Amino acid sequence: MKPTNAPLVEQRADPFAYKHTDGYYYFTGSVPTYDRIELRRSKTLAGLQDAETFDVWFKHETGPMSRHVWAPEIHYLDGKWYVYFAASEEEDIWKLRPYVLECTGQDPLNDEWIELGQMQAADGDEKSFIDFSLDATIFENQGKRYYCWAEKTGGQFAASNLYLAEMESPIKLKTVQFMLTTPDYDWERIGFWVNEGPAVIKNAGKIYISFSASATGACYCMGLMEADEDADLLDRNSWKKSRYPVLETNYEKGIYGPGHNCFTVAEDDVTPLCIYHARDYENAVGDPTVVPKSDTRPLEEIIADPLYDPNRHARVMEVKFDADGKPLFEFY
């Protein structure tokens, strides 16, 4: 396994790695141009860096799904492959909504993918997915499947909260949204008030949801929610939130803005791993070559925009646990 401070896959923010029953790791993430869904696979984690890439879907030219294709995740549900991702519109670049793709076959790299449209709220839920929504993940517990996502009510500059709901199907929710967490603490409010990028790991009878906080520069960091696996996960009293970040910038190691992680297992199928992104330097610099031609902002604004700095690399660390079974995130 590569050390924590070495990239696993370069220039792939919001990484997602899933080890399937065929023994392969399937990997995706946000490409720097934010214009497609890319997949790759490898028998080993290290092999993901140089694995062949497959562009399985491209953004539309206009309308829904035509800008800011962000944070894809690949899941295998009920015998089918799905990709969950967020995208906005060329005509309204912050109109982020969650969308779903389904693979028509069992080979996600080569078989055709079809669009299932926007993720659907539960019947009677008039709040979910009506505003800036992104970073969805999926997990199962006690025979139920859950959908967890970030949403801002009030546009791009509002607070980004995390919401949770039970799923009825791979494309629709069964219950109305439950607000899991809102940015309460100072470390969640640097630059922007943000909770986003949820990921789920289970251990010793508990469910842990990691999440990312603050703006996307060096202040980006991770917090942690926890609940008993037997609890009602849609009850506010079931969850406890970390008072301080569990992973943040480490100047000594040269790892800046760690966050938006996923969890997987090592090649031994036992050792839990955290796959996250971070930069090698503190001050992000936007790269004009990855910005869409329709973005007519002055050059100095693009350079100052950390979203267009392509060097958020996917990295890996082993997850260890404390005496109470809580996950520890430590650079080594």
Q: Which helix (H) or strand (E) holds 228?
A: strand 221-228
Nearest to 213 by CA among 237, 248, 240: 248
Phi, psi of 304 (to 5 degrees): -85, 0
Q: What is the DSSP letter of 303?
A: H
Write down the catalytic residue from 188, 196, 248, 309. Answer: 196
Q: Closest by alpha carbon to 48, among 17, 23, 75?
A: 17
Taking the alpha carbons at both ends of the chain, their separation in whole angstroms is 12
What is the DSSP code string of 164-218? Answer: EEEEEETTEESS--EEEE---SGGG-SSS-BEEEEEEEEETTEEEEEEEES-SST
Q: 90 an active-site residue?
A: no
Q: Is 282 a catalytic residue?
A: no
User: What's the distance, CA 253 to chain centroid?
Assistant: 24
Backbone angles phi, psi at 9, to 5 degrees: -135, 125
Give the active site residues. 14, 196
